[in-house]
Chains A and B, each alone.
Chain A
């Protein structure tokens, strides 16, 4: 387990700049989640740390030593890919044992058997050990590839949307399982996801990438409650933050504010200005209201048992909204 830090790392692929001057420290034992839309540079960050790509500039340090000239094998990292994860010509058992049989680790067979069994049981694939990798369902395949990372004790676990292809129940189970492994091993994780729940529940730190730049790094609460820009604010929150012109509710905007950001908790229902209910989405544990407010649409939450229906008019007013300037930066 180790601290991993990137300093001023840049990487381009032809004309596209995948990462630009990224400086980031992943503390020892942290669970860092990278957020950002497709193309923001999340996967590139993982591949640079793994050694599958060479940075154009900057330094990558693991455990106090620069690794930019090391091969992936020398870096002692484990990575779970989003797909194409298993060696199709090997059985599940051999897939899991593959890293342990590498010349770098070269573990004795009895120890390999023991470890593989333990990991397989933790991921509930023990009964599939002798199956061909190709004979598994998508969820099982992905559990095996997570298992292949877990049989080792690498300095850092790199995971590229490992749960995105799984069904909701399995995703929830594995989320808990990964969190447990993180807590038990004290391992360092760098984890890429689009999923807000994964980010909020598993992360100790969240990094938000925008077109190759790291725009904010902090705890999940900081990212959610104290975003530096409207871009960061849009990354987290379900329903997403609503951005309105600063003067939508009249007075109250600070100097320079161009936009106001309203999360559901920033909208007080029952007083203020009228809005029309366009649609009511009952999700069970929450009920979302799509409101027409003048020319704008606002999505907010209501009491799960609300009696409101389409066409009703309610009064809303903002409460401590987030303010952003013309460049989208927080005021």
Chain B
């Protein structure tokens, strides 16, 4: 008979936990799987009832996402030379021809520039500010920290109109720089607070040792504090990116022709030539990827945080 253990869960409770985790994963991942599969359906398959789980995959959604198409007269259509490329062929199947490139690629790039740009800026400023708040005697420290946090207390959209007017005056409307600054302003409170927590956890003795070992304060920060704050920086960066990446309201309000990001663009696909659900799903799928990849790349740092710390207590 095996001994009863207080620290080691029993076999039965482990199996129950495993089942629960798997069920939960399926429930949360199902909508995601549905979107990804819809992206590979043909138009009729995507709206058929009952819904089709098994279907013949098609790249129609992706082709439609990246192109604009036009319907031409029957005799004109018959007179066309045979399709030159695979995507020409897909478009012809629905009786249309490619009229040009859609703006999805451009919008997607805008999202990348603005999302990653504001994340980088938030992390850069946030780390420096958090270090200063954590280590130095800053006058009115508590009030300043509260002020920084208070910017998060109302929904950002509450200040949409003042920001809209201000941006118009400053010429920041519909610019990449404007959106980067705006998302940074929203994210910086989160970044400062999260990172201050992480930096507070790093004992000062490490930096003091580095100062005595012949390094300047900034070098000690770079060589000793930053590597140890990597976990905090990685998780903060993920939070910042997710916000900037998904933000919709400001993007609708402040961007149009030039700096529009993907979130306000994707819904407009619906209007182009009927309800093109596969194209919408394809756009949503591609839109998911960067945050997913970013999180997976930083996962190493997130996990490493657990095994950290040469601390004798």
Contacts and interface: CB of A to CB of B under 8 A. Distances in A.
B211 A165 contact: no
Interface in A26-80: 50-52, 71-73, 77-79
Q: Which of A52, A77, A105, A136 has the most CB of B within 10 A?
A: A52
Contacts of B8: none
A85 interface: yes
A296 B70 CA distance: 108
B310 A141 contact: yes
Contacts of A84: 203, 205-206, 310-312
B310 A133 contact: yes
Interface string B190-208: 0000000000000101101
A79 B212 contact: yes
B142 interface: no
Contacts of A83: 205, 311-313
A101 B292 CA distance: 39
Interface in A137-151: 138, 141-142, 148
Contact of B214 (A73, A136, A138, A142): A73
A73 B209 contact: no
A89 B227 contact: yes
Nearest to B310: A88
A223 interface: no
Interface residues of A, number: 31
B205 A71 contact: no
Contact of A87 (B212, B216, B224): B224
Given A73-B216, A102-B215, A103-B214, A79 B209 contact: yes
A87 B206 contact: yes
Contacts, number: 84
Binding site secondary structure of chain A: loop
A231 interface: no
B305 to A, nearest CB: 11
B258 interface: no
A156 to B, nearest CB: 11
A98 interface: yes
Contacts of A72: 208, 211-212
Interface string A116-136: 000000000000000001101
Contact of B212 (A78, A88, A134, A165): A78
A163 to B, nearest CB: 13
List 6 tightest A-B contacts by C-beta distance, closest first. A102-B214, A104-B214, A88-B310, A84-B205, A99-B213, A72-B211
25 contacts: A51-B212, A71-B211, A71-B216, A72-B208, A73-B215, A73-B216, A77-B212, A78-B212, A78-B213, A79-B208, A79-B212, A84-B203, A84-B310, A84-B311, A84-B312, A85-B312, A87-B310, A88-B206, A88-B308, A88-B309, A88-B310, A103-B214, A134-B310, A142-B312, A148-B213
Interface of A: 50-52, 71-73, 77-79, 81, 83-89, 98-99, 102-105, 133-134, 136, 138, 141-142, 148, 165
